[in-house]
Amino acid sequence: MDYARKVRNSRPCKVVMLGDAGSGKTCLLERFLHDSFDVKSKPTIGAAFGAKMLDTERGLVSLQIWDTAGQERYLSLASLYYRNAQAAIICCDLTERASFKRMEYWIKAVRSAEKDCKIYVCGTKADLIWDKLRSRAIQSEELTIFKASSIETSSKANYNVFPLFQQIAEDFEQIYSGEINSTGSSRSLYHSNSSKQHANNNDTGPTCCSSS
């Protein structure tokens, strides 16, 4: 099929970024959309939007991504952002325990409002642990307790960011074609290529690739 036709046949997939303020949502999206990382990332006011086309085994998926601000004062608005979302990336900073607690809040909120939204639990800023600048406050296994796909990323080191979004697009196509459903199982998204660069480090994030 030629590319123009593939684009015409592409399916839109609404993705929302949720999580505590400072958990790394905007940097994750910036890395994915523009392959860049800005240490002076500014707090997002309200919500920002970005879209990108990804090729999957079954065709093109147009990821339409909403980046929400996690601040308390926007909580009531957040439900508007995740309405009809097909996927939610729920971020926590791996070096901040409070960030993990907030993640539980978001998971419950999305699950109760959007039954068909597939949830991706994302532990961010893994580079801070590798570089021994901060200590790990959330263990890899803890990310897997939510019956959702889980992954550890670093937007700064460009670790697991593209694989996460690619997985969302692949899963979306599978869900769309009825091969899998959007809820129910825990799965660590482990990508051997992207973790190779950190193979000598003892703390490289998920070490298993279970899919149940």
Residues at the site binding ligand GDP, with contacts judged by CB under 6 A: 19, 21-27, 39, 41, 43-44, 70, 124-125, 127-128, 154-156
**167 forms part of the interface with Mg ion (CB under 5 A):** no
* Burial class, 33, CB count within 10 angstroms (exposed 0-12 / middle 13-18 / buried 19+): middle
> Measured from the CB of residue 29, what is the shortest distance to ligand GDP in angstroms?
8
**194 forms part of the interface with Mg ion (CB under 5 A):** no
Q: What are phi and psi of 157, to 5 degrees?
A: -90, 5
> Measured from the CB of residue 48, what is the shortest distance to ligand GDP in angstroms?
9
Residue 96 and residue 102 in contact, taking contact as beta carbons nearer than 8 Å:
no
Which one of 44, 56, 95, 124 is in contact with Mg ion (CB under 5 A)? 44
**Closer residue to Mg ion, CB minimum distance, 44 or 195:** 44
> Measured from the CB of residue 141, what is the shortest distance to Mg ion in angstroms?
27
**Footprint of Mg ion on 19-38 (CB under 5 A):** 25-26
**Closer residue to Mg ion, CB minimum distance, 26 or 155:** 26
> Measured from the CB of residue 153, what is the shortest distance to ligand GDP in angstroms?
7
> Measured from the CB of residue 37, what is the shortest distance to ligand GDP in angstroms?
7
C-alpha span between 131 and 154 (Å, rounded): 12
Sheet with 47-56, edge to edge strand ranges = 47-56, 59-68, 11-19, 87-93, 118-124, 149-152, 187-188
**Rounded to an integer, what is the distance from CA 41 to the centroid of its chain?**
18
Instruction: Determine how many CB atoms are found less than 10 A away from the CB of residue 174.
Output: 16
**What residues contact residue 87 under an 8 Å CB cut-off, 6+ apart?**
13, 14, 15, 16, 117, 118, 119, 120, 168, 171, 172
Applying CB under 5 A, the site for Mg ion has a residue count of 3
**Closer residue to ligand GDP, CB minimum distance, 155 or 188:** 155
Residues that bind Mg ion (CB under 5 A): 25-26, 44
